[in-house]
Amino acid sequence: MRLEEARVGFAMCGSYCTHAQTIAALERLAPQCGAVIPILSEGSGHRDTRFGENRALRAQLENLCGHPVLDTIVQVEPIGPKHLLDLLIIAPCTGNTLGKLAVGITDTAITMAAKAHLRNGGPVLLGPSTNDGLSVSLRNLGELLSRKGYYCVPFRQDDPEKKPNSLVSRMELIPDAARQALKGEQLQPVLLPSVG
């Protein structure tokens, strides 16, 4: 399937420090898609942080996507039975969400969106952003990448000196990674050189 025809779910978890980069990628991605449905985690959808107010984030997403934000399990559950998506992107994808997806916990809007979409055999593109990506979350990331249907936005260590276990996806690669995921392929290379 071509991205231009695709109905894409764009789900954002915490990792608030990467929201600006992720929104910039969405600004490039949205005009290339058939439709984009924004999805927010409970934390992103209802918490103000030092990186911005939740109301501003919701308004920005709804303006970019032309669709109301979904942020509850009840709102996203129909993704599966109604075949609402061709691709689900989870970016940023926190270590918490990686862990829940890896063991099948469905207690958030994001994990329910993934479960509902995967039941139809659709691809899920993960954009990991977590301070424990090279420690405890590495096991979960590896588990997901070994499963059919999961793909990753290429990632790297963001600060090897001060945060040696931290991984962050290159969010600007989301459009390219989305095109590949729709073909059933992983954008390569997955592991990128560190910043600096």
32-46, 72-86, 118-132: segment of lowest average pLDDT: 32-46
For residue 39, which amino acid is it?
A: I
**How far lies 136's CA from each of 46, 103, 155, 169, in Å?**
27, 14, 17, 17
Q: For residue range 65-86, list pLDDT tens digits in order.
A: 999 999 999 999 999 999 999 9
Per-residue pLDDT averaged across 151-158, rounded? 94
pLDDT given for residue 3 in this prediction: 93
pLDDT of residue 16: 63
Per-residue DSSP letters for 85-127? -SEEEEEEE-HHHHHHHHHT---SHHHHHHHHHHTTT--EEEE
**What does the mean pLDDT of the chain come to?**
90
pLDDT one-digit tens code per residue, 86-98: 999 999 999 999 9
Q: Please give the structure tokens belonging to residue 92.
A: 């940023």
In this model, does residue 127 exceed pLDDT 60? yes
d(CA 167, CA 163): 9
* 11 phi-psi bin (left φ>0, alpha ψ -120 to 50, beta other): beta
